[in-house]
């Protein structure tokens, strides 16, 4: 049951330069989701794996309708 909730409420998309502008491109307050953006030097598993502890720590504090930044280029 928990895994199906995660599948419905989790999205993994490739990062891009437009990710930095995400809060300005979308009115995120309209959505009942929390967005966690991983900022890594590349999309390689090695670089993303380093961020897993930070991502797990961000899950309980991520707020609905907001972006939580994890990684080297965190945003306020």
* Per-domain boundaries in the chain: 2-71
For residues 4 and 52, what is the distance between their CA atoms, to the nearest angstrom? 20
Closest CA to 42 of 34, 54, 33, 51: 51
pLDDT in tens, 3-20: 444 445 455 555 455 566
For residues 7 and 72, what is the distance between their CA atoms, to the nearest angstrom? 26
pLDDT in tens, 30-61: 878 888 888 888 888 999 999 999 999 999 99
DSSP 8-state code for residue 14? -
Q: Does this model's pTM top 0.95?
A: no
């Amino acid at each position: 049951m928990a895994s199906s909730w995660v599948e419905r409420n989790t999205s993994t998309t490739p990062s891009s330069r437009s990710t930095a502008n995400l809060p300005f491109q979308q009115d995120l307050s309209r959505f009942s989701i929390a967005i966690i953006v991983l900022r890594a030097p590349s999309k390689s598993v090695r670089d993303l794996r380093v961020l897993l502890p930070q991502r797990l720590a961000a899950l309980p504090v991520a707020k609905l309708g907001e972006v939580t930044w994890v990684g080297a280029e965190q945003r306020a």
